[in-house]
Structure 1
Amino acid sequence: MFEETKPRIVKSHDINLDSDYINWIHDVKQRYISTQIKAAVKVNTERLYFNWQLGRDLVERKAEEKWGKGIVEQLSLDLQNEFPDEKGFSARNLWNMKKWYLFYSSSDIFSEMAHTIEESIDLNSLKLQQVGAEISENQKLHQAGAEIEFPAIFGFVPWRHHVEIVTKCKTIEEALFYVRKTIEESWSRSTLVDCIKANLYQSSGNALTNFAEKLPAIQGKLAQ
């Protein structure tokens, strides 16, 4: 929210700043911030989707079996050589991409669980409903046949948050709990790490306990 500060006035006798103008300029500022947020989410989502696909490739192509144990390091060198100004192509980060995809693809109902959370989150309150819809539509256009779906909600969470979640969580239910809380509470990475260390998932009553069994009856809403 903006602080109600007195606007600067141009040096002219033809300016009359009434309450209607004040309300209008406030709305313009809010719309601009919303545009910035949407643009940032789109950029984040595209990069995350790239990471997801690269992790998928490493898993489904069985890269290490096909090209040898050092293939991830070789891929890292090739990508860094081609894109020297881009960050994120270290061997360690490529291993994280593989871990990320492998963690979620191990569950047969992961896509249903993620979709249920997506429908239960009030994106409208985040002023990002349109972005979420665009992410979902873009996802459908690029999705391969039997590929594990990349959830639209993942686009609202920074990459390093995702790495912390799959590294420190033991189950998909726990991981998705922290994905959801990160979105709803706008957690920083340090806050996320602290909450995982404090075992918030357990202390909050296992918000996703028995999630799989209850899923068909939830119909898009989480059982609290």
Structure 2
Amino acid sequence: MERQKVAQWGDKVTAQLAADLQREFPEMKGLSHRNIKYMKQFAATYPDFLIGQRPVAQLPWAHHVILLDKVNSSESRAFYTAKALENGWSRDVLSLQIKSGLHEPGLGRCNALRHAPTACWLSVPCGRFRRFC
């Protein structure tokens, strides 16, 4: 990231880094230009990242890509990280929870429950609610 700060516009630092890494480590996966950009964004988003000591370290990479793409605030990212770990969410479930606005006030299932007849909602053991009418 330091080199990119001093580079001129159009130097394509991340593209060159991706090409160099792919050439040097042809058997490794995940070294595409796109992933290098995500890695840079990840490093900027979590500057004090310590491996294995924070919940964010326990999520798979694809979950982080979803969080970086779809969640803007660090508070919301921390919320979704904790919930994904707590509930064992897959990438698809994480995306759906973000899309439903689970962490946003006035959105998500809590808002739906306030406006729906209680007879139409069934609480299941995992704490989620399912509509049955």
TM norm structure 1: 0.43
Q: How many residues are aligned here? A: 104
| Cα offset, 1:167, TM superposition | 1.5
Check whether the contact 1:76–1:94 (CA below 8 A) recurs between aligned residues: yes
**Matched residue type, 1:93:** N
Q: Give the number of the structure with larger relative contact order, counting CA–CA contacts within 8 Å between residues 6 or more apart.
A: 1
2:101 is matched with which residue: 180, 199, 212? 199
Q: Which residue of 2 aligns with 1:185?
A: 87
Partner of 1:128: none
Shift of residue 162, structure 1, vs aligned partner: 0.6
Which structure dedicates a bigger proportion of its chain to helix?
Answer: 1
**Equivalent residue of 1:201, what SS?**
coil
Unaligned runs of 5+ in 1: 1-57, 106-147, 206-224
Task: State how far apart, in whole Å, the 1-side matches of 2:3 and 2:25 are.
Answer: 24
**Structure 1 residue corresponding to 2:6, chosen from 42, 65, 68:** 65
Q: Does the aligned pair in 2 maintain the 1:154–1:179 contact within 8 Å?
A: yes
> Hey, what's the Cα distance between the residues in 1 that align with 2:49 and 2:65?
18
Distance (Å, rounded) in 2 between the aligned partners of 1:103 and 1:152: 14
The one-letter amino acid paired with 1:89 is L
Deviation of residue 69 (structure 1)? 2.7
Residue of structure 1 aligned with 2:36, choices 90, 94, 99: 94
Deviations 1:135-157 (A, max 9, x none): xxxxxxxxxxxxx2324322320
Corresponding residue for residue 103 of structure 1: 45
> How many angstroms apart in 1 are the aligned matches of 2:74 and 2:101?
15
Share of identical aligned residues, percent? 34
Q: Max radius of gyration: which structure?
A: 1
The code of the aligned residue for 2:4 comes to A
Other structure's SS at 1:160 match: helix
Q: By how many angstroms is 1:62 displaced?
A: 4.1
Q: Which blocks of at least 5 consecutive residues in structure 2 are unaligned? A: 111-133
Asked whether the 8 Å contact 1:64–1:71 carries over to 2, the reply is no
Select which of 61, 75, 78 maps to 2:17: 75
* C-alpha separation in 2, matches of 1:69 and 1:163: 25
CA RMSD of aligned residues (A): 2.0
Letter in 2 for 1:160: A
SS of residue in 1 equivalent to 2:7: helix
Aligned to 2:67: 165
Q: Distance in 2 between matches of 1:91 and 1:149?
A: 22
8 Å Cα contact 1:160-1:189 kept in structure 2: yes
The CA distance in 2 between the partners of 1:74 and 1:177, in whole Å, is 35
- Runs of 4+ aligned residues of structure 1 deviating over 3 Å after TM superposition are none
